[in-house]
Amino acid sequence: MEASSTKVAIEQIAERITDAVMEHRLPPGIKLVEEKLASAFGVSRTKIRQALTLLAQEGLVTLHPNRGAFVKRPTAAEARDLFATRRLVEPEIVRNVIKRACSEDLAKLRVHLKEEAEARSLGDRRRIIRLSGQFHMLLAQVSGNSFIEKLMGELCPLTCLIIALFDEPQTPACPEDEHSQIVEAIAQRDEVRAIKLMLHHLEHIERELHLDSPTERDIHWEALYG
């Protein structure tokens, strides 16, 4: 039961679960037992159930009938599709941000960069991963297209999951500070450079993953001895 008596909206529940997933506190594949979540959030299962259908629709959770909800375990193929989608969408985001961003927007982005730098200097790896994802969500927000914003709001948490699954655990934190370079290119209204940096950034993330070595999930047990 929660200490406070404030009502917890199902969106808040979904968001807190999403944050936990982004910070790798909920690993891919783990089961989300309704009763446990209900008592953790101090609400009834009815609300948890709604939050879970919401998260399932977002793609962060998989619902197995009569068996429950599980944090999604994306396959390598899904990971590749995800990055293909991001390579398509994020250049458009950059173009729109350069077109529309006012000085306050740039300020917001720079505040975020500071948070990232802080987390990095503190070595808070979980916070780094979450903030890295949220940087891209913030960019999408500034770009001003609600559909693309929503899409990125789903792809970024999933990217965190994919990193949890396919990245070597001891990879040195995050590559480098490519985010601040992107922001600077945007501030200078250098579209070509900003897009190039963004695409390189995405390629760096994808290349650090081991999408070729098949996970247990990818093995087709039925077909193995066909």
Partner DNA sequence: GCTGGATATATTGCATACAATTTATCAAAT
Partner DNA sequence: ATTTGATAAATTGTATGCAATATATCCAGC
Interior angle at CA 37, CA 31 and CA 43, nearest 5:
155
Q: Identify what 30 binds: a copy of itself, DNA, none; CB under 5 to 8 Å per kind.
A: none
Given DNA, a copy of itself, none, residue 171, with its beta carbon under 5 to 8 Å by kind, binds: none
Residues 26-55 that bind DNA (CB under 7 A): 31-35, 43-47, 49
Q: Which does 92 bind (CB under 5 to 8 A by kind): a copy of itself, DNA, none?
A: a copy of itself
DSSP state of 67: T
As measured in angstroms, the least distance from the Cβ of 197 to DNA is: 43
Nearer to a copy of itself, 85 or 188 (CB): 85
Scored b (16 or more CB within 10 A) or e, 33-43 reads ebeebbeebeb
Pattern 187-216, DNA, x by CB under 7 A: ------------------------------
Instruction: Yes or no: say if 69 and 52 are a contact pair by the CB < 8 Å rule.
Output: yes
Helix or strand (DSSP H, E) at 198: helix 191-207
Q: What's the CA gap between 109 and 114, in Å, rounded?
A: 9
Residues in the site for DNA, rule: CB under 7 A? 7, 9-10, 31-35, 43-47, 49, 63, 65-69
